[in-house]
Amino acid sequence: MPETPYYVLAIDTAMAGCSAAVFDVNADKTYSICKQMPRGQAEHLVPMVQDCVNQAGIAFEDIGLIAVTVGPGAFTGLRIGLSTARSFGVALDVPVVGVTTLEALAHDYLSQNSLEGHDALLVVIETKRKDFYWQAFGSDGSELTEAAAQDAGEAVLWAKSKGFACVMIGDACERFTSEVPEHDFRQEKEYFLPSPEVMAKVAVSQFSKGMARGSEPLYLRDADVSMSKREQRVIEQNSK
């Protein structure tokens, strides 16, 4: 079993916020800064991390584990956090554990609420396109579906096929409801941004079980590329 770290640094910039926290595992105490921030994370993140480390009264060398959201979310945003987290990992020679935005939100909700007669928790996250990032979780936080980027109808179909009553959270709830108003999910407000405290706890729990996710980005979508419409001419193979 990997040794449990004493201090965990958690970082999130994958959605419309910028958050950092230092979690003191033994004291079960968190020093965190969370801000709503659709842009500007690249400027704010590292000074926020420094502030958390100072608030916790520790030095960077005391950090034993780093937790970071790997997505799904905004591509550039999630890379801001990931590159920062991985580089702290290299610089401090400590492991970096990835937490998905979907599981961070799910664990945050489930740590404070029960599903109260519902069968599943649906987390829906904004893609800023037509579709949604979504995933279903059980009341114990277990994953009932794979994380996916799909139209709202797919989530509704899944719930119907299982005959599940669902609670829905996430920053795309309202758009989801406006697109498929016929759904009967119970919509919960708040839980729009991953909590770095929850991320740190999820990371420690997974890490100490030897089940931690790596820090590979979870984009759920290929890069947009447009091929040139003008056909490129070819050069004769055997000509001089």
Partner 1 sequence: MKILGIETSCDETAVAIVDDSRKIHANLVLSQLEEHSVFGGVVPEIAARAHMDHLDKLIKGALNDSGLTFSDLDGVAATSGPGLIGGVMVGMMAGKAIAAAHSLPFMGINHLEAHALTPRLSDDVAFPFLLLLVSGGHTQILLVRGVNDYELWGTTIDDALGECFDKSAKLMGLPFPGGPNLEKAARQCEDLEAALKRFPLPTPMKGRKGCDFSFSGLKTAVRTHIDALPAGALKMEDVAALSAAFEHSVCETVISRCKNALEKFTTIHNGPERPALVVAGGVAANTSLRGALKNLTESYEMSFIAPPISLCSDNGAMIAWAGVERLRLGMTDTLDIAARPRWPLDPNGDKNRAAFA
Residue 6 touches partner 1, criterion: CB under 8 A = no
Contact set for partner 1, span 46-65 (CB under 8 A): 46-47, 49-50, 60
Decide the pairing of beta strands 166-169 and 29-36: unpaired
Cα angle 80, 52, 82; round to 5: 20
Q: What's the alpha-carbon Rg for the chain, to the nearest Å?
A: 20
Residue 44 touches partner 1, criterion: CB under 8 A = yes
Site string for partner 1, 90-109 (x = CB under 8 A): xxx-----------------
Q: What is the DSSP string of 127-184?
A: -SSSSEEEEEE-TTS-BSS--EEE-HHHHHHHHHHHT--EEEESTTHHHHHHH-TT--
CA distance 203 to 83: 18
Count residues binding partner 1 (CB under 8 A): 40
Do 147 and 100 touch, CB atoms closer than 8 A?
yes
Looking at the Cβ atoms of 26 and 239, the one nearer to partner 1 is 239
Contact set for partner 1, span 13-42 (CB under 8 A): 40, 42
Looking at the Cβ atoms of 161 and 239, the one nearer to partner 1 is 239
Contact set for partner 1, span 194-223 (CB under 8 A): 217, 219, 223
Looking at the Cβ atoms of 161 and 237, the one nearer to partner 1 is 237
Structure tokens, 105 = 């939100």
| Contact set with partner 1 (CB under 8 A) | 40, 42-47, 49-50, 60, 75-76, 79-80, 82-92, 217, 219, 223-225, 227-228, 232-237, 239-240
